[in-house]
């Protein structure tokens, strides 16, 4: 038996063992697991991936993101959600009892600066005096701060235009913005039909996406078992996406109205498939850098220590 085969068998045994330990707690309650659902999250593909047969009811929470999600966590009306690694910083300040329990590692193609075709912006220095959009309170805001700082500029040197991404795309296409920070499918939409071009190597920052829950949910054996089971299912969903890009692209297109071909391009250009992983030291360090930068730029009123927000309770399941 090779070492690789032995490791696979050990991981499989660990996963089965974890599932067996979860079974009694899962059977003990019919309280629903309340999961945030939005277009493109793992929940969008749960049936296609064969993971919808949960032994507990799932209540889908269809609400806007940002502060509304944090308020839902605070009120106890949400148990499981996805977000960038920026909202937990604001959750800490607002004393929202949030816990980060898993990681969707970022990719170099996830974020970038898109400049208008014919704008004359060939390097970061050319942004001076130009209108640049970002989404407030997200990793696009940090990306812009980091980008400007690395090139000796500040927000005062440009015309910052914070707005939701879909509004920014409309403004960019109509010529009302010189540039915008975007990633993934939004960046590809901005570069469609040569309306814009990605400014390559603008910043090395790679933002992560995280899975979060409430700290009190982790103290409830039944709820904790549900979260563990759903993490296992989400991990399987992203593995399905990696193996079935055409089906993923078609479903994504049906949900958003964006062409499946553009989603396939996003899939091909990403350095690695999306995968669910346990929290890591580099991810915590990266999140701390973001928090420190927000404080230094006076975007938050006090320093935040992000480390207590991150929990490795489900490491065994996520490494199996």
Domain ranges of the chain: 3-106+207-319, 112-199
Q: What is the pLDDT of residue 80?
A: 97
- Which position has the token pair 């409430």? 214
Phi, psi (5° rounding) for residue 136?
-60, 140
* Assigned CATH topology for domain 112-199: D-Maltodextrin-Binding Protein; domain 2 (3.40.190)
Q: What is the pLDDT of residue 183?
A: 87
Phi, psi (5° rounding) for residue 170?
-65, -45
* Assigned CATH topology for domain 3-106+207-319: D-Maltodextrin-Binding Protein; domain 2 (3.40.190)
Lookup: tokens for 260: 């499946």
Q: Where are the beta strands (DSSP E) in 16-125?
A: 33-36, 58-61, 81-84, 98-104, 112-116
Q: What is the pLDDT of residue 194?
A: 63
* pTM listed for this prediction: 0.86
Q: What is the pLDDT of residue 128?
A: 96
Q: Do domains 3-106+207-319 and 112-199 have the same CATH topology?
A: yes
Cα(148)–Cα(221) distance, rounded to whole angstroms? 46
Q: What is the pLDDT of residue 14?
A: 44
Q: What is the pLDDT of residue 108?
A: 72
Strand order in the sheet with 196-199: 159-162, 131-134, 179-182, 112-116, 196-199
Which positions of the chain have pLDDT values less than 50? 1-17
Q: What is the pLDDT of residue 245?
A: 97
């Amino acid at each position: 038996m090779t070492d690789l085969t032995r490791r696979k068998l050990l991981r499989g045994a660990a996963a089965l063992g974890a599932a067996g330990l979860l079974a009694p707690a899962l059977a003990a309650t019919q309280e629903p697991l309340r999961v945030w659902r939005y277009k493109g999250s793992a929940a969008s593909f749960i049936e296609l991936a064969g993971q919808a047969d949960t032994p507990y009811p799932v209540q889908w929470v269809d609400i806007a993101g940002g502060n509304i999600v944090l308020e839902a966590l605070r009120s106890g009306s949400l148990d499981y959600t996805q977000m960038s690694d920026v909202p937990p910083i604001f959750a800490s300040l607002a004393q929202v009892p949030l816990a980060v329990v898993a990681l969707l590692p970022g990719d170099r193609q996830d974020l970038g600066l898109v400049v208008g075709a014919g704008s004359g912006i060939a390097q970061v220095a050319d942004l001076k005096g130009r209108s640049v959009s970002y989404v407030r309170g997200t990793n696009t805001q940090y990306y812009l701060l980091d980008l400007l700082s690395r090139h000796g500029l500040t927000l005062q040197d440009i015309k910052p235009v914070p707005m939701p991404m879909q509004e920014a795309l409309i403004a960019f296409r109509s010529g009302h913005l010189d540039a915008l920070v975007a990633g993934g499918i939004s960046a590809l939409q901005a570069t469609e039909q040569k309306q814009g071009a990605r400014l390559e190597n603008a910043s090395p920052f790679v933002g992560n996406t995280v899975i979060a829950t409430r700290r009190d949910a982790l103290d409830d054996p039944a709820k904790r078992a549900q979260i563990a089971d759903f993490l296992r299912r989400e991990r399987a969903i992203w593995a399905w996406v990696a193996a079935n890009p055409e089906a993923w692209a078609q479903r994504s297109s049906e949900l958003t109205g964006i062409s499946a071909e553009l989603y396939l391009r996003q899939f091909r250009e990403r350095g690695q498939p999306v995968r669910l992983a346990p929290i890591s030291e580099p991810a915590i360090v990266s999140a701390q850098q973001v928090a420190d930068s927000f404080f230094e730029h006076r975007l938050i009123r006090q320093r935040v220590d992000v480390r207590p927000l991150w929990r490795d309770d489900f490491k065994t399941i996520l490494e199996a």
